[in-house]
Amino acid sequence: MPQAAGPTTRGRAVADYGQELRFGSFLTPTAASPQEVVRLAQISERAGLDLVSVQDHPYQPAFLDTWTLLSHLGAVTSTVRLAPNVANLPLRPPAVLARSAASLDLLTGGRFELGLGAGAFWQAVEAMGGRRLSPGEAVRAVTEAIEIIRGVWDAAERRPLRVDGEVHRVDGAKRGPAPAHPVEIWLGAYKPRMLALAGRAADGWLPSLGYLDLADAPAAHAVIDDAALEAGRDPADVRRLLNVNGRFEARSGGFLVGPPQQWVEELAEVALEQGFSTFVLGADDPTTIELFGQEVAPAVRELVAAERAAGPRRAEREDDAARVAAHPDDADRAGQTDRAGQTDRAGRGHRAGQADPADRAALGVRTTPAPERLLDRSLLDEGTRPRVAPPADAAYTDAGRAAGAHLVEVHDMLRAELEKVRDLVAQVRTGVIDAGEARSEIATLTLRQNAWTMGAYCESYCRVVTGHHSLEDQSVFPHLRAADRRLEPVLDRLADEHHVIHDVLEAVDRALVEVVRAGTGTEGYEGVQEAVDALTDTLLSHFAYEEEQLVEPLARVGFYPGQLSG
């Protein structure tokens, strides 16, 4: 993948933990304009972010109280998760904190997570009546607090809770209420003892760039991983979150200072090479939040998913390329037979007898033709699509081949996601998924149940597709247009089809809204099924055409100017 322009890893290599990517905002609870932070939280939700977090400094008179604010945000949002970033433990007794967290989780339908910090600014803490702690005492305080918080949440345990700690203690406290879902505890940690505690007892590690140099991240991951293994835990069960800051600019000015595509590449590299999977942006600007949620986050998800898929697929692609290289005549005859046998009644696939550049051994990648259409009507006039043959003297580089393979991998990821959407629609429509079974699936997809589960998943998938097409329209297509003018009709057609696909995605959304409005019956699911079938036909036909026409030129000229082309 392209190399990011930001910090590089030094020391121990960090593997990708394979965790689901999440994106969030980190808001300032300014008391001078209380409705502005509320508006920013709602903008974060509309932009598609997964999390809204708020810093917690109870001694700061210029700030709203974080817990009061989070409670209000829970009432004016409906899908986004909420968390303190991070809760100030020295001024929030853990037993009370546990009940506050459980209550907010119950009131928001399971949308609360608990960021927890050992404390800082001790003079201000003391001024508010808190106790100044030494570094060792602060670590013990967090250790005891986690035990108390989890103990209070364990409402099924009949025995009163007793923790005789050095800093925090409870003596016979009643347990409960239990949160609506397993609330994650994320630790803001930088030093070895707190990092080890995150590995032993927490659900996530939440540092901030500025306090953490990415060059030091591998050593921190190692401490967490070793502690997790010693405690009998899988290190991958500890989520790796990162508070980040940046600015969107026309030109690059450093790490996360530049255009959205630069952000995409840099955050994808941090995810794949430095182990982080949740990125929380410190920003109080609506436009920055919208760009982060609507453009950067979907594109990072797409790029990381493609790179993750490339691992197990790479050996298969290399084997295919080796077989084709060893027997080019057999491969060419087989390709011609397959193409000649395709039917035109659906208006898809390759024209009979036309050489498919993606089948050539030199490209080392196999493309996917469109399957038979599900609906009788087509929203794309496939028969009028322009096509461009590769030049006779075409030459390809390894980096160029990787660009073409990346396009196919992205499409394969989107095809797999589309299958999940179709399967979920079928299960909900036929009543296979009830509330209990849906809750188990929600635990892995982080979605809601029944009709809303289907709606949220489709909405998320639609954002990914839209981000993919925006990336092509704004970056890839202009580069290919400049590199090979013969491709202009093809690129114009692909751009036009992106508008059609956008309309199809909107139709899916409208159909889902109608089902939700209709209530719990199944009468409206026919419209959802037809909309999803139209999406399937349109997307798969478009992907096949795009691969047929763009894999070869990408192998010649790469993805972007100066990238993947040497």
Token digits for 546? 């795009």
Specify whether the CB–CB gap between 290 and 47 falls below 8 A: yes
The C-alpha torsion from 247 through 62 and 212 to 446, rounded to 10°, is -80
Question: Torsions phi, psi of 117, nearest 5?
Answer: -125, 150
Helix (H) or strand (E) holding 441: helix 435-445
Specify whether the CB–CB gap between 405 and 411 falls below 8 A: no
Fold type of domain 402-558: Four Helix Bundle (Hemerythrin (Met), subunit A) (1.20.120)
Specify whether the CB–CB gap between 148 and 170 falls below 8 A: yes
Token digits for 404? 């073409």
Specify whether the CB–CB gap between 207 and 195 falls below 8 A: no
What are the boundaries of each domain within the chain? 22-295, 402-558
Within 10 angstroms of residue 44's Cβ, the number of other Cβ atoms is 29
DSSP assignments along 506-549, one per residue: HHHHHHHHHHHHH-S-STTHHHHHHHHHHHHHHHHHHHHHHHHH
Cα separation, 471 vs 306, in Å, equals: 15
Count of residues in the chain: 566
Give residue for tokens 């304009």. Answer: 33
Cα separation, 393 vs 419, in Å, equals: 39
Q: Among candidates 306, 470, 309, 446, which has minimal Cα distance to 23?
A: 446
DSSP assignments along 156-195, one per residue: T--SPEEEE-SS-EEEEEPP-PPPSS---EEEE--SHHHH
Is 444 exposed, middle or buried, given 0-12, 13-18 or 19+ CB atoms closer than 10 A?
Answer: exposed
DSSP state of 390: P
Q: Among candidates 517, 505, 519, which has minimal Cα distance to 458?
A: 505
Q: Among candidates 431, 479, 339, which has minimal Cα distance to 2?
A: 479
Q: Answer positive or negative: Cα dihedral of 488, 493, 496, 502.
A: negative
SS3 for 551? Answer: helix
Residue 330 C-alpha from the chain's centroid: 42
Cα separation, 89 vs 140, in Å, equals: 12
Cα separation, 80 vs 46, in Å, equals: 9
| Strand 22-27 with 51-54, pairing | parallel
Cα separation, 390 vs 223, in Å, equals: 52
**Which pTM value belongs to this model?**
0.59
Fold type of domain 22-295: TIM Barrel (3.20.20)
Cα separation, 456 vs 310, in Å, equals: 27
Q: What is the pLDDT along the chain (566 residues), one digit of tens a residue?
A: 433 333 333 334 567 999 999 999 999 999 999 999 999 999 999 999 999 999 999 999 999 999 999 999 999 999 999 999 999 999 999 999 999 999 999 999 999 999 999 998 899 999 999 999 999 999 999 999 999 999 999 999 999 999 999 999 999 999 999 999 999 999 999 999 999 999 999 999 999 998 999 989 999 999 999 999 999 999 999 999 999 999 999 888 999 999 998 999 999 999 999 999 999 999 999 999 999 999 999 999 988 988 888 765 544 544 555 554 555 454 444 443 333 333 232 232 333 223 344 344 567 788 889 999 999 889 998 999 999 998 888 888 777 787 788 778 777 877 776 777 677 777 666 665 432 332 233 233 222 222 323 343 344 444 444 554 554 555 566 778 888 889 999 988 988 888 888 788 778 767 766 765 666 555 557 777 888 899 899 989 999 998 999 889 888 887 544 433 22
